[in-house]
Amino acid sequence: MECPHLSSSVCIAPDSAKFPNGSPSSWCCSVCRSNKSPWVCLTCSSVHCGRYVNGHAKKHYEDAQVPLTNHKKSEKQDKAQHTVCMDCSSYSTYCYRCDDFVVNDTKLGLVQKVREHLQNLENSAFTADRHRKRKLLENSSLNSKLLKVNGSTTAICATGLRNLGNTCFMNAILQSLSNIEQFCCYFKELPAVELRNGKTAGRRTYHTRSQGDNNVSLVEEFRKTLCALWQGSQTAFSPESLFYVVWKIMPNFRGYQQQDAHEFMRYLLDHLHLELQGGFNGVSCSPILQENSTLSASNKCCINGASTVVTAIFGGILQNEVNCLICGTESRKFDPFLDLSLDIPSQFRNKRSKNQENGPVCSLRDCLRSFTDLEELDETELYMCHKCKKKQKSTKKFWIQKLPKVLCLHLKRFHWTAYLRNKVDTYVEFPLRGLDMKCYLLEPENSGPENCLYDLAAVVVHHGSGVGSGHYTAYATHEGRWFHFNDSTVTLTEEDTVVKAKAYILFYAERQARAGPDKL
């Protein structure tokens, strides 16, 4: 939005010596000393934490406000109202009086000058620290992330994602998807799109909640984010632009409260699918879909219209069989899916760790078996039998009619009680390699032995006790090594650590063992 308060609130010199030492992104709040989400006041250059940490930046503004009694006093006080501040990590500008982000500048361009000064401070601090970090990385074979490929040494360096304020749910999903090779490569190979034109062409975009929906593209920001990962940068990438697009098109995720990672993943994939159907970037059909063009229509999974890379990779088909227990009438329905949500069987719900001795360990196969086993529907789920012409008791069974290229399995760890949504903290044992899905297929005889084998690509873990709290991290494999993604921190890890995790979402990639026109 165009803020009218800049001329009276932006009073500091761009090279002010009052700024703290060090990189702006790590400056500490002058009240609580937190270095999370630092904001600098553009009136007095004091640094405080954001409203979703301890809110001292907002309190600094509120403390500066005095009841205005006359016009002259108003003019005098307007010069020092401390209304405008700048995010020291993303360099976005915010006005507390307007309660919105700011896109304009003063006549002298002071906001942009302060922004450039903070960027220079950040770059200087990074350059000074880079040699020390590089030497530490080179001295450790584990942390250097070097692999030999065809006799030459290639650097493998994963990039973390900054937490913008309880956005670990988004970061864990983005890191997982970035390690699903076929999916990630498709987006990275899309041509870039210039979303702005006219007077603002070529400038950096600073998103605001008041911008129109026509100014944003989820596919474009998702593409930019994926391109920023795995490029060797030692500095965490800030997915701010993507997050603001999410705010625009997914109202459920506005704000900075903790969200459900699975719910976010479904919204993200659904909206990517819908936008890609519109021929984004002039690409009407993905190469993956062209390769699959020889498949029969019955084997394609299309959700809400034409197929896209989302459904080509994550899309599968379920057969839902319902049998009336009174007359025996059978009803069959085919439902496309992007993921399967699996209950943790009730007999395992008290077992919290792998080494606990009270009974057998729950396995992923137990959860899959519970999902596909014949089930008698209770009184609240009576089936409307077309032959009996009334609701009757019935049984239900799921079969998988078509397996996807990437099988996404969601373990239902959160359930509602009378007043709360509680977490099922049961450890579920899952294989890193060779998950065999053949016994869950409707027609297993039509699938070869290798067609049904899956290897783990990524896993999202929820730490904590409730869906509205806690923390999300992810494990993913990249070029034969496992990494742990914890927001801005990325570390190499061992397989033994991965298998001990209490998985929430599992991404299994189809084992690549054959070549053919329908092979990715």
Residues 358, 428: Cα–Cα separation, whole Å:
14
Inter-CA distances, 38 with 33, 34, 85, 431, 486, Å = 10, 8, 10, 42, 20
Burial of 290 (0-12, 13-18, 19+ CB in 10 A): exposed
**Phi/psi at 171 (5° precision):** -60, -40
C-alpha torsion sign, points 490, 494, 495, 498: negative
Q: Which two tokens stand for residue 330?
A: 């059978």
Which region holds residue 419: left if phi is over 0, alpha if psi is between -120 and 50, else beta?
A: alpha
Contact 173, 250 (CB under 8 A): no
Residues 401, 166: Cα–Cα separation, whole Å:
38
- Three-state SS letters, 449-510: HHHHEEEEEEEEEEECCECCCCEEEEEEEECCEEEEEECCEEEEECHHHHHCCCEEEEEEEE
What does the DSSP 8-state code read for residue 444? G
Residues 472, 466: Cα–Cα separation, whole Å:
12
CA 451 to chain CA mean position, Å: 29
Residues 124, 480: Cα–Cα separation, whole Å:
35
Nearest Cα to 472, choosing from 483, 486, 482? 486
What does the DSSP 8-state code read for residue 427? -
Residues 18, 34: Cα–Cα separation, whole Å:
19
Active-site pick, 3, 49, 88, 168: 168
Three-state SS at 330: strand
Contact 160, 487 (CB under 8 A): yes
Residues 383, 396: Cα–Cα separation, whole Å:
10
Active-site pick, 5, 415, 463, 471: 471
Q: Which amino acid is at 272?
A: L
Terminal-residue alpha carbon distance, the chain: 45
Contact 395, 373 (CB under 8 A): no
Nearest Cα to 432, choosing from 369, 501, 520, 359? 501
To the query of whether residue 168 is one of the catalytic residues in this protein, the response is: yes
| Bridging pattern class, strands 84-87 and 47-49 | unpaired
What does the DSSP 8-state code read for residue 353? S
To the query of whether residue 471 is one of the catalytic residues in this protein, the response is: yes
Catalytic residue numbers read: 168, 471
